[in-house]
Amino acid sequence: MADFTPRGPHTPRTPRSPGPYRRLLATPGARAFTLGNLLARLPMGMFSVSAVVMIAGSRGSYALAGAVTAIGLAATAVVAPWTARLVDRYGQARIAVPATLLAALGSLALLLCVRYGAPAWTLFVSYAATATTPNIGGLSRARWVHLLDGDERSLHVANSFEQAADELCFMLGPVLAATLCATFFPEAGTLAGALLLVTGMLVFTSQRSTEPPPSQDRHHPPAPAKSLLRAPGLPPLLAVCLAMGAVFGSMEVVTIAFADAQGHRTAAGVVLALQAAGSCAAGLVYGAVRRTGRPEDRYVGCVAALTALLTLPLLAAALTGSLLAVAGALLVAGMATAPTMVTGMTLVQRRTPPGRLNEGMTLAVTGLLGGIACGSAAGGWTVEHASPVAGYGVPVAAAAIALMIALTSAHRTPSD
């Protein structure tokens, strides 16, 4: 029978169910640690830009500035997994706070060395000290794993949220750093980054109710742990992270070179920000949709989509030579980045043995950093010896390598 119940303007409506991200942030304690997480994460997109501006402006050498940041990157790749292992063993607050303070002191030492004309070697030592900075994204993801306790659907939303936060911070961080350095004084970006890092980490670690318990009591040291490089299914994921880092590193260098060749070098930052914006938006959408199939198969699909979409900037540069066309292509190509990273990080979490989650995720980030360094070098070499247009072939090649690794390993490791 038809329903003829009158529905006037005052008829109460059925309340809308909250969206997945509102439900996620309604988790007790989530908003408080997320605020600290975002404050501490923003400087990750500020420090390298601030260091380059500060050193190049004071010493008149981009080569020195680049060498200093490269040494800092290499030091981070070595130190970060050890810091993460200590965090897993003794707890986030106990390790992350002193590690952050040491990193902040390194930033301030770099600032003073640049300001007062200290010898060049002191810049390398100071910036290398910042390698103790904890992987704040890993710390936050570990809290979600602890709080959500096996809820795979909610964990997918949490990983998507964290990836979107990564993209947002790396999109806003360089802009904020450049603005501070240009508006106030060359050291302003580094100083602000250090203050944000310490403040954010103190807010984050003060939320003890959401902190995962340490894997071992410090009075009962564990037996020596096997290397995570032997964990089943994990090495191929780390190899894909290495190739993905090469995509990011080469894309940045090649885009700057392409914009410079067009006479619009200052626009390169905006163009790269569009890629991050596309990734951020796609990450939020990806977290809100329902997943189907094995995560290994989804991962292969995401990497395949990324490889295909990365041909767009190459085609735009080769066929049009227009920076505007390349910017649009990067916006579209960026939309495959976050889903790929979210699915990859989910698999890393699954393949990492219990009690070593921070270490596993930090190894993934270390792979990305190593890939960024290799990709930057390969992209720069191609630009210099061929052309900026040819340089856009480097990220496509790196993504293709990632796809081959993902395809090869997808059916070797059974799904959980």
Q: What is the arithmetic mean of pLDDT over 90-94? A: 91
> Higher confidence at residue 106 or residue 253?
106
Q: For the segment 393-405, what is each residue's pLDDT rounded down to a tens digit? A: 999 999 999 999 9
pLDDT band at 17 (very low <50, low <70, confident <90, very high): low
User: Given this model, what pLDDT does residue 152 score?
Assistant: 82
User: For 5-14, 103-112, 364-373, which range has the lowest pLDDT when averaged over its residues?
Assistant: 5-14
> Higher confidence at residue 150 or residue 213?
213
In whole angstroms, how far apart are CA 190 and each of 54, 64, 106, 107, 357?
8, 17, 10, 7, 30
Q: For the segment 247-300, what is each residue's pLDDT rounded down to a tens digit? A: 988 888 888 788 888 887 667 778 888 888 888 888 888 888 776 778 888 899
Residue among 198, 330, 311, 191 at smallest CA distance from 255: 330
Domain ranges of the chain: 28-213, 231-416
pTM of the model: 0.77
Residues sharing a CB contact under 8 Å with residue 405, sequence separation 6 or more, in sequence order? 236, 239, 240, 243
User: What percent of the chain has a predicted confidence (pLDDT) above 90?
Assistant: 33
Residues sharing a CB contact under 8 Å with residue 294, sequence separation 6 or more, in sequence order? 415
User: Given this model, what pLDDT does residue 199 score?
Assistant: 96
d(CA 402, CA 303): 7
d(CA 135, CA 358): 8
What number does CATH give the domain 231-416? 1.20.1250.20
d(CA 255, CA 271): 8
Q: For the segment 173-190, what is each residue's pLDDT rounded down to a tens digit? A: 877 887 888 788 888 989
Q: For the segment 195-230, what is each residue's pLDDT rounded down to a tens digit? A: 999 999 999 999 988 898 887 654 444 444 567 777
The amino acid at 23: R
User: Given this model, what pLDDT does residue 416 score?
Assistant: 47
> Higher confidence at residue 283 or residue 125?
125
Angle at 261 (CA atoms; ends 368, 332), nearest 5 degrees: 50
Q: Is the pLDDT of residue 314 over 90?
A: yes
Q: For the segment 325-336, what is each residue's pLDDT rounded down to a tens digit? A: 999 999 999 999
CATH superfamily of 28-213: MFS general substrate transporter like domains (1.20.1250.20)
User: Given this model, what pLDDT does residue 220 score?
Assistant: 43
> Higher confidence at residue 181 or residue 107?
107
> Higher confidence at residue 137 or residue 112?
112
User: For 38-42, 249-253, 345-349, which range has the lowest pLDDT when averaged over its residues?
Assistant: 249-253
**Mean pLDDT in the chain?**
84
pLDDT band at 48 (very low <50, low <70, confident <90, very high): confident
User: For 127-141, 160-174, 223-237, which range has the lowest pLDDT when averaged over its residues?
Assistant: 223-237
Q: What is the arithmetic mean of pLDDT over 125-145? A: 90
- Listing DSSP states for 259-303 in one string gives HHHTT-GGGHHHHHHHHHHHHHHHHHHHHHSPP-S-HHHHHHHHH
Judge if 28-213 and 231-416 fold alike in CATH terms.
yes
Q: What is the arithmetic mean of pLDDT over 147-156? A: 84
User: Given this model, what pLDDT does residue 223 score?
Assistant: 44
pLDDT band at 320 (very low <50, low <70, confident <90, very high): very high
User: For 58-62, 141-145, 396-400, which range has the lowest pLDDT when averaged over its residues?
Assistant: 58-62
Q: Is the pLDDT of residue 63 over 50?
A: yes
Q: Is the pLDDT of residue 319 over 90?
A: yes
